[in-house]
Amino acid sequence: METIKLIIDNKEIEVAKGTTVLKAAREYGIEIPTLCYFSIDGMNIENKPGGCRVCVVEIEGRRNLAPACATDCEHGMIIHTHSMRVINARRTVVELILSDHPADCLVCQKAGNCELQDLAQRLGIREIPFKGEHSTYRKDTSPSIVRDVDKCVMCRRCEMMCNEVQTVGALSAINRGFPSVVAPAFEMDLEKSPCTYCGQCVTACPTGALTEVDHTGKVIRALSDPTKTVIVQTAPAVRVALGEEFGTEPGARVTGQMVAALRRLGFNAVFDTDFAADLTIMEEGTELLGRINGFLNGDKSVKLPILTSCCPGWVNFFETNFPDLLDVPSTAKSPQQMFGAVAKTYYADKIGLKREDLVMVSIMPCLAKKYECQRDEFEVNGNPDVDIVLSTRELAALIKQANIDFKNLVGEDFDTPLGESTGAAVIFGVTGGVIEAATRTAYEVFTGTTLKKVDFEELRGMEGVRSAAIDFDGKLMVKIGVAHGLSNARKLLEDVRAGKSQFHAIEVMACPGGCIGGGGQPYSHGNNFEILKRRSAGLYAEDADKKLRKSHENPYIKKLYEEFLGEPGGHKAHELLHTHYFDKSKKEIELD
């Protein structure tokens, strides 16, 4: 490996060729402040437009200061990262940014988690010497995401996530000069753009310009209303991330404390989305086997591969970008919506309540779920199956508001019957998990034999696109594809569109890493690859700890079918647990 020798802050260092000044400095413990720079090492995600000019450094012999993030180290460079010239420039630049920023930190959702606030503190800025006009824009509230673009600092991270990582193309820089800002084309509402509500822009935004729609107030009102019975479901990825908001190590499993906290908050029953994940496997697995059998029997109308449909960001993506393939994905609803549908029928009946008196709250690692629960097809007479969705972050905020000493809570169990689940369900929260869970069940149903080894390591991992062929006991080789991050999903979908796909089934998760990296998870300000790996390990550990690890073995699921649904894929199941998709490629565009 070719190396480069240079001097940074009087320190002689040696780094690999191609290393930027920023990375070289970090390697040697010199922290250069940044704002627009953002990276997730290990996932090949990097944003370095060199736009904010906060990371500027002095390189001897160069006329101007250079951005450390976008300058490669060269032999013999002599660099000063904190000379007075640099400090003056850096402070002035941040003062400029602040001079065009609303000073509403007191009520800003990002206060305490804001990189600009941190930067201002770190640089010791106590007043903003520049007064003048602010660039202002209207606030845009979509079902999931709020754009408060007055707070946009043009770091372009969201644009990079939206265009490069997700290939969604909803956000890009518009206008020029002082009013430049990142927004949907023509400053249209996010709702009218191709946005999938995956929320990756929110995870990347350093300020309060992009945040989730805050629904904690709604939950507080429901919980304080004595006429309502409020129940809650929690998605698998929440339990390995929520603790981070209370100072635990990333990936620490806090399932029991979370259940206890939810009970303290006053929920009448604390259930688990995992129950519905098992249900999803029953439905989706049946559909998969149905299609494979049909295919093997020569039925030409059968669509393969089957695509998973748990992820609402992904559903939005294919409805917008691949409207010609709407009959390819599984018709199974997502676990959240299956849960809501079952809760407001089966469970409401069981406890003798009208659906209107039952408030269904979900705790999700996801922002697209907020939109999903508002879709017209998921309501009955105006009453939605799921009423309110909170992100992991919002739940943490609620717990803090209720003054619950989360870390010292003694773990509690979910309520029955909708709180029981298998290990197959808990891995829904990580990329590859849904298809592994489906494989466990499909294998046993298809072959009629019991799996010797439940773990399918070949489906796990963090590569953006993965594939594996699973031997169904010599009777069939099932070819499986896995993609996470929508740019990766797009590649597989384009193959499907071109008729080149070799897979029987493909699992897609919109967010990098799957739900563990969802748009509603605790902020990690970039470089969360390690965090994702630990959350992933947390989920696999929870799976391994479970007595039951195959969805079809969940006794409460069996009971649900016996008592209520009938057969998987049967009439009633179809009515409650399946859905259909819409062509959203031509959203109505209204320009002001």
Which amino acids are annotated catalytic? Answer: 284, 287, 310, 330, 369, 372, 377, 515
Q: Is 351 helix (H, G, I), strand (E, B) or coil?
A: helix
Chosen residue from 25, 30, 100, 292 binding other proteins by CB under 8 A: 100
Q: Tell me if 93 contacts other proteins by CB under 8 A.
A: yes
Chosen residue from 30, 65, 404, 409 binding other proteins by CB under 8 A: 65
Q: Which is nearer to other proteins, 100 or 415 (CB)?
A: 100
For the CB of residue 32, give the shortest distance to other proteins in the complex, in Å: 14
Restricting to residues 122-151, which ones interact with other proteins according to CB under 8 A? 129-133
Residue 3 — φ and ψ, nearest 5°?
A: -120, 165
For the CB of residue 46, give the shortest distance to other proteins in the complex, in Å: 14
Q: What does the longest C-alpha to C-alpha distance in the chain come to?
A: 80
Q: Are 438 and 483 in contact (CB under 8 A)?
A: no
Q: Which is nearer to other proteins, 165 or 493 (CB)?
A: 165
Q: Tell me if 71 contacts other proteins by CB under 8 A.
A: yes
Residue 152 in tokens: 């946009």
Number of residues lying near other proteins (CB under 8 A) = 38
Apex 201 CA angle, 332 and 329, nearest 5: 20
Q: Which is nearer to other proteins, 154 or 237 (CB)?
A: 154
Q: How far apart are CA 6 and CA 186, in angstroms?
A: 46
Number of residues written out for the chain: 592
Residue 6 in tokens: 């240079």
Chosen residue from 16, 111, 178, 324 binding other proteins by CB under 8 A: 178
Q: Are 433 and 480 in contact (CB under 8 A)?
A: no
Which one of 173-181, 223-231, 237-245, 344-352 is the stretch in contact with other proteins (CB under 8 A)? Answer: 173-181
Helix axis angle for 216-223 and 392-401, nearest 10°, is 50
For the CB of residue 169, give the shortest distance to other proteins in the complex, in Å: 13
Q: Which is nearer to other proteins, 71 or 142 (CB)?
A: 71
Cis peptide before 206 (omega within 30 of 0): no
Q: Which is nearer to other proteins, 48 or 552 (CB)?
A: 48
For the CB of residue 88, give the shortest distance to other proteins in the complex, in Å: 7
Q: Classify the phi-psi angles of 247: left when phi > 0, otherwise alpha if psi is within -120 to 50, otherwise beta.
A: left
Q: Is 561 helix (H, G, I), strand (E, B) or coil?
A: helix
Residue from 341, 350, 365, 488 nearest 428 by CA: 365
Q: Are 56 and 5 in contact (CB under 8 A)?
A: no
For the CB of residue 65, give the shortest distance to other proteins in the complex, in Å: 5
Q: Are 332 and 284 in contact (CB under 8 A)?
A: yes
Which one of 60-68, 324-332, 384-392, 393-401 is the stretch in contact with other proteins (CB under 8 A)? Answer: 60-68
Q: Which is nearer to other proteins, 100 or 150 (CB)?
A: 100
Chosen residue from 44, 121, 136, 175 binding other proteins by CB under 8 A: 175
Residues in contact with other proteins by the rule CB under 8 A: 49-54, 56, 64-65, 67, 70-72, 85, 88-89, 92-93, 96-97, 99-100, 129-133, 153-154, 172-173, 175-181
